[in-house]
């Protein structure tokens, strides 16, 4: 069952050089109790796509087309007052930088209680107990004592846990985790991902993981969508993605991973296009080793490879497969 479905999303920015579309006809879904990874190089549109779900866009950004369905309702059409009831309470965000996401002037207790008061309508002892339980759920030692700490007294990993605790305290159905392990050492990375997986299995929480770390994705994701230059170029479940990738960009990403006995690492030539560049045809063709003449002037449509696997590439059967 899909808890979030993004349909044909188009989004752009008013820049000094005029209107520039950044997200091109993006569609994917997040199922209940699933960890869906959105992967790709920096600047490909992963974060802005996720922020559109929360309606947390820059002032110069505008969604021009599409729907974002959450529990059967198109949240893009909701008034701001209704969206405020969803944001944080039903759909929570683990932001990219835990170091700057907590207010340094307030204790962890103050910040947790504020979230609980706003989204759970609890106060006093009941709210306090809920906050302590949330810190205990994310395995912060001596949780009640650490409630009195300020963010600078927490390590990077503990700050990230505190942010996750805020999502748990509100019983969020969906957690958007934007590079949740950035700037954390490998051991803490593993602990944070183990924690997210526990939340997924025990509470049935759906998680949208935004990352460029394919090793992290391989170990944790149920499904994967690959973004390039503002569009989804391949989607599939974990085994399909890593065992039988179809898009040349996906193959290039996987070939660039370190592999024991592999020798020299492969690279992807060139750079991802900027928002100001206009590329005819397939947006990956300037960097693609398998490009054909048709790729330079025509944009590939989505081709179904299986019930759960699809890609946009002229190398695949243009007629698709019936299932």
Structure tokens at 46: 């992963």
Would you state the pLDDT for residue 322? 44
Do 133 and 60 contact (CB within 8 A), yes or no? no
Q: What is the DSSP letter of 87?
A: B
Residue 252 in contact with residue 268, Cβ under 8 Å?
yes
CA atoms within 13 A on the CB side of 28: 29
Helix (H) or strand (E) holding 25: strand 18-31
**Contacts for 218 with CB less than 8 Å, ≥ 6 apart:** 238, 242
Contact yes or no for 35/197 (Cβ under 8 A): yes
CB 175 within 8 A of CB 47: no
Distance CA 25, CA 6 (A): 10
Give the integer Cα–Cα distance in Å for 111 and 162.
10
* Domain 2-90+172-312: homologous superfamily in CATH: P-loop containing nucleotide triphosphate hydrolases (3.40.50.300)
Contact 39, 51 (CB under 8 A): no
Looking at residue 120, what is its pLDDT?
Answer: 83
- pLDDT in tens for each of the 323 residues of the chain? 899 999 999 999 998 888 999 999 999 999 999 999 999 988 899 999 999 999 999 999 999 999 999 998 999 999 988 998 898 889 999 887 767 788 999 999 999 999 899 888 888 999 999 999 999 988 899 999 999 999 999 988 889 889 888 888 888 899 999 988 877 788 888 888 998 999 999 989 999 999 988 989 999 999 999 999 999 999 999 999 999 999 999 999 998 887 755 667 788 888 888 888 888 999 999 999 999 999 999 999 999 999 999 999 999 855 444 44
**Sheet architecture: strand order including 2-15:** 18-31, 2-15, 61-70, 73-74
Q: Does residue 242 contact residue 218 with C-beta atoms inside 8 Å?
A: yes
Q: How far apart (Å, rounded) are the C-alpha atoms in residues 239 and 218?
A: 9
Going by C-alpha positions, the residue among 209, 189, 175 that lies closest to residue 37 is 209
Cβ 284 vs Cβ 303: under 8 Å = no
Nearest to 227 by CA among 209, 243, 205: 209
- The contacts of residue 38 (CB under 8 Å, 6+ apart) are 28, 46, 49, 50, 208, 209, 210, 211, 225, 227
How far the first Cα of the chain sits from its last, in Å, is 19
Asked if 44 contacts 18 with a C-beta cutoff of 8 angstroms, the reply is no
């Amino acid at each position: 069952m899909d808890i979030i479905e993004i349909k044909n999303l188009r989004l752009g920015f008013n820049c000094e050089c005029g209107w520039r579309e950044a997200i091109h006809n993006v569609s994917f879904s997040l199922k209940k109790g699933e960890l869906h990874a959105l992967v790709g190089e920096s600047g490909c549109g992963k974060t802005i796509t996720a922020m559109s779900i929360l309606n947390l866009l820059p002032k110069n950004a505008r969604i021009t087309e599409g729907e974002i369905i959450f529990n059967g309702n198109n949240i893009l059409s909701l008034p701001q007052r209704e969206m405020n009831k969803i944001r944080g309470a039903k759909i929570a965000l683990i932001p990219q930088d835990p170091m700057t996401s907590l207010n340094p002037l307030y204790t962890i207790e103050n910040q947790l209680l504020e979230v609980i008061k706003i989204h759970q309508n609890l106060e006093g002892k009941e709210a306090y107990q809920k906050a302590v339980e949330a810190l205990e759920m994310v395995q912060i030692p001596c949780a009640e004592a650490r409630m009195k700490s300020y963010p600078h007294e927490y390590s990077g990993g503990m700050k990230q846990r505190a942010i996750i605790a805020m999502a748990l305290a509100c019983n969020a159905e969906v957690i958007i985790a934007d590079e949740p392990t950035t700037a954390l050492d490998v051991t803490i990375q593993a602990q944070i991902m183990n924690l997210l997986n526990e939340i997924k299995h025990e509470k049935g929480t759906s998680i949208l993981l935004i990352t460029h770390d394919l090793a992290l994705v391989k170990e944790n994701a149920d499904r994967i969508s690959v973004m390039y230059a503002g569009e989804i170029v391949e989607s599939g479940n974990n085994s399909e993605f890593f065992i039988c990738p179809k898009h040349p960009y996906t193959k290039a990403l996987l070939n660039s991973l370190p592999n024991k006995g592999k020798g020299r690492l492969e690279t992807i030539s060139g750079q991802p296009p900027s928002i100001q560049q206009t590329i005819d045809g397939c947006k990956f063709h300037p960097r693609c080793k398998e490009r054909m003449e048709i790729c330079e002037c025509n944009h590939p449509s989505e081709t179904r490879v299986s019930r759960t696997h699809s890609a946009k590439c002229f190398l695949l059967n243009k007629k698709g497969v019936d299932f």
